[in-house]
Structure formats: C-alpha cells, structure tokens
Amino acid sequence: MIVDLELYPKQSLRLLLFINEQEKQSKKSTKFLEYCNEEEVKEFQYLDEEDRIIISESFREVVRAEIREYIDLYMEQYQEPLNDKEALDINEKQYTVYGNFQLFNEQKDTILWDLLTLLIYLDSMNPQIWDRRAVLIGELLQRIGLESEYMRFLSSELNLTKLALCHTFKYGEIWSYLEYILTEYYERIKGNEFKSLNNDEIINYVLKDNFEFICLQIDSYEHNYHAWSLVNWLIYELIPTIISSDDSNKPYKYNEIRMIESWVIKLLQRHPSHYGGYHALVNLNESKINSQSKSNKLEVCTVIGLVYPEEIINMLRVIIECFDHHLINCFSVILGFRYANFMLLIDSVDERSHLEIFENEIMWFQKQDLVEKMSKSPKHLEELREHFYSILSEISSYNYNKSIIQKFYDLLDSEIQIIRQESTLFYNSDCSYKGLV
C-alpha cells in the first residue's frame, strides 16, 4: 500500500524525495548534507561532480522544526504494541519513501520512520533518532514472515548507520545502534547462509564483512576508541553468539583465535600507534592461554610461543625498524603491550620460572637494540626504566621471588645497565635496592 503523501510535513517530504532519488541514481551512498548560507543555495542542491548535497541553514531549521513537531504529536498518540508474533500480509504494509520498504501497517509509523531517516542526514547526533528507531525495529522484528524484505531492509539500515558514523564517529549511541543492527542482521544470515558453513568460514565471513568499515574508521580518527571497541565486541560478543548452536557461548579453539589475531594485526599495521589494537591482541593472548589445558601451569617455552607467535614478533620488528621516522610514538604503546603480556606470562607459569620469563623480556629489548635507540630520548629512556621497575615490582610480590630478587636485579645490571644509571626508580635513599628483603 502507498502511504498518503499529504500526511508528510511538506518541506521534509520535498527533501526526502530528493535524497531518495539521488541515492537511487548514485552508485554509492550520497555524502551527508553540508550546510551553507542562502547566498550559495536557497534551499538544497546536489553537486554532481562532488557527489554531495548542500542545504541552506535556514531550510535545514525549517525541516528540523517540522520533524520535531511530528514526533511530539506521534508520542502523544503512541500506544504500546501487542506482544504476540503474528504473521502479517505484505499487502497490508505501507511503502516508505526512502528505500521503498514495506515495514509498517500504520501510516503514522511509516511517516515517522521516514522522518527519522531524514533526521539522520540533517542531524545524526539528535537523541530522538536512535532510541526511537530501535523501538520501531524491535516491534517490527517480533513479527513472523517477510524475511526477504527484512534482509533487504537490514542491509540498507546497516549502510545508513555506517554512513552516519563516517560523519559523526564519536557519538556512542550510533555505535550502540550499529551493534544492535549487526546482531539482527547476522542472526538472520545464521538461519540461511551460515547453515552450510563451518565455524572457521563463519568467522572469516564476519571479519571480512566488517574489515573495510573498521579500516575507514581508524583511518579517519586517531585512537578511535569506538572502532576498537567494535573490534572487541565482534570478537567476544557477536561471533560467539553466531557460531554457537545453543544459547551458551563456547570458548574459541586455538586455530580460531589465530585467525582472528591475524585479522587484528592487519588492522593494527595500518596504525601501529593505536593502543586499541594492542588491547585486542592482549585479550586474544589471554584466550589462547585459556584454550590450553588448565590442569597444570604451562611450560615457559609453550606460553611464550602462545603470547608471541611469529606473526606478532614480525609485526613488532617492522614497527621498531621505523622508530627513527614518524612511528616514534609507537614506543609507549608497545611498552604497554609488553607489560600486559608479561603479566599474562607470569600468571601462567610456576613462580620458579619467572626469572626465565624476565630474562626473555630483557633479551627481546636487547635483540631489537631498543635500549640504544631509546637512550637518545630522555623521555623514552625514562619510560623504559619505568617498564622494568613495574615488572620487578610485580615479580617481587611472589613469595618465591622475594628470596631471589637480587638475581633479577643482577640480570638487569649485567644486560642493560643504562636502565639503572642515574635512576631513582630502583634505589632507596641509602642506595639499597628497592624490593630487596
């Protein structure tokens, strides 16, 4: 059924029809509306060469006022929907202007959905949009039938939400809505395409599906917290739900973790100074350790191999080789990565093996010639000292290590003396070692 266009706010309908027409003609999504004064454009205009729409600020305010008025009226008349899952006849549903979807029976719901879509283009940070949109979708997806139409709709909704995040990438409510739509989208794929795939293939499908968008996000904004949070959400919330045959989320197998780890490394290699990527790798290292037998503590060589596989070692080596250039800022985040991994290592082995773990840490810094490189920078040299002091402080809290702590200090002195030279971190006022019993 076709909704009565006379019921739409007049100026909002004009702009909505215009945007929808441009979307249908364009091979890619139209860029968000950009605002200008009335001297440049009276109301709105499409710039073909630049593939973007410009709109006057005054016309934008007129449309926003129309939408606010409609939403207020809608909420006054709103009634909670019935909870029963009834099969609906598609012929009873109204067509939306944007996307030509048949989603709702009520004209007022169809109009509200269209106006919320328009508001995304006009003002994507408006709090009215995302909660109300989630409520409408929740009501819609409770009902049975029309699966093919729902998939087309969810695919469009994903693209529109991602487009909004390319324009407003710091707004947490949009990220939360994206997670909600992704969950609904993949749950429906799970019942179709995923049936014939094994877990490795499903994991690869989801990771590949989201790689380009996450790359775009981390390329656009340094240390994009929300983008890296999405990475962790995909790994530990969405994918386990999809690959589980029941409601319980089973832990990953080792080969599955390694597949995900390689994907994270590809993201991190684009921006090696992003701490969010290293945080994701630490979480995966913990998962790898947990995937092994927990009846006994692990052997040192085993756990080091889990935490530092060849792919991670090579990634760190390549980053360090660039330290003399624009990647010098990576040093602090790499230290944080090494420290977090060190904590995982000493928790996974017997206390009597801590000295061997500590020696491995020192040898890695020596092999990379990091002490020499960082000695040229007082700031980074102090960070390196803080790194080893923090490690020694953690080690000295174990009963077995208290009696042999001198061996740790002697090892540090014999291998990289410069760490302790002229540093107050390691000495008490009487020049005795901190932490010695």
Do 185 and 154 meet the contact criterion of CB atoms below 8 Å apart?
yes
Last residue of a domain, one of 139, 169, 186: 139
Any domain includes 110:
yes
- For helices 330-348 and 275-290, the axis angle rounded to 10 degrees is 10
Distance between first and last Cα of the chain: 83
Indicate the residue among 113, 139, 165 that finishes a domain: 139
Beta strands in 12-136 (DSSP E): 31-36, 44-47, 52-56, 94-95, 102-104
What distance in Å separates the CA atoms of residue 168 and residue 173, rounded to the nearest whole number? 11
Classify residue 25: in a domain, yes or no.
yes
Q: Which residues pair with 102 in a beta bridge?
A: 95
Beta bridge partner(s), residue 104 = 94
Q: Note the Cα 83 to chain centre separation in Å.
A: 33
List the domain range (segments joined by +) for residue 43. Answer: 1-139
Last residue of a domain, one of 139, 169, 192: 139
Q: Give the dihedral sign, CA 59/65/66/68.
A: positive
Three-class DSSP category at 197: coil
185 is a domain residue? no
| Within-domain flag for 195 | no
Residue 430, pLDDT score: 43
The DSSP result for 60-77, as a single string, is HHHHHHHHHHHHHHHHHH
Ordered strands of the 44-47 beta sheet: 31-36, 52-56, 44-47
Phi, psi of 435 (to 5 degrees): 90, -10
Distances (CA, A) of 33 to 54, 63, 125, 210, 268: 5, 13, 14, 25, 32
Question: Per the confidence metrics, is the pTM higher than 0.75?
Answer: yes
Residue 334 domain flag: yes
Concatenated DSSP letters of 316-372: HHHHHHTTTTTTTTHHHHHHHHHHHHHHHHHHHS-GGGHHHHHHHHHHHHHHTTHHH
CA–CA distance, 98 with 101 (Å, rounded to integer): 8
pLDDT truncated to tens, each residue of the chain (437 aa)? 788 999 999 999 999 999 998 888 876 655 566 666 656 778 888 887 777 788 888 999 999 999 999 999 998 886 655 444 454 454 567 899 999 998 888 899 999 999 999 999 998 888 889 999 998 888 777 665 556 678 888 999 999 999 899 888 889 999 999 999 999 999 887 767 888 899 999 999 999 999 999 999 999 888 899 999 999 999 999 999 998 876 667 789 999 999 999 999 999 999 998 999 999 999 999 999 998 866 678 899 999 999 999 999 999 999 888 766 555 678 889 999 999 999 999 999 999 999 999 999 999 999 988 888 877 788 888 888 899 999 999 999 998 988 888 888 888 888 777 776 666 666 543 445 454 44
How many domains is the chain partitioned into structurally? 2
| Contact (CB, 8 A) for 299 and 349 | yes
In a domain, 283, yes or no: no
Q: Give residue 437's pLDDT.
A: 40
Q: Residue 210 has what pLDDT?
A: 97
- For helices 172-190 and 225-233, the axis angle rounded to 10 degrees is 20
Residue 227 in any domain: the answer is no
DSSP state letters, 292-327: S--SSPPPHHHHHHHHS-HHHHHHHHHHHHTTTTTT
Say what the pLDDT of residue 36 is: 65
345 close to 357: Cβ distance less than 8 angstroms: yes
Q: Is 109 inside any structural domain?
A: yes
- CA atoms within 13 A of residue 160's CA, in its CB half-sphere: 25
Strands 94-95 and 44-47: unpaired
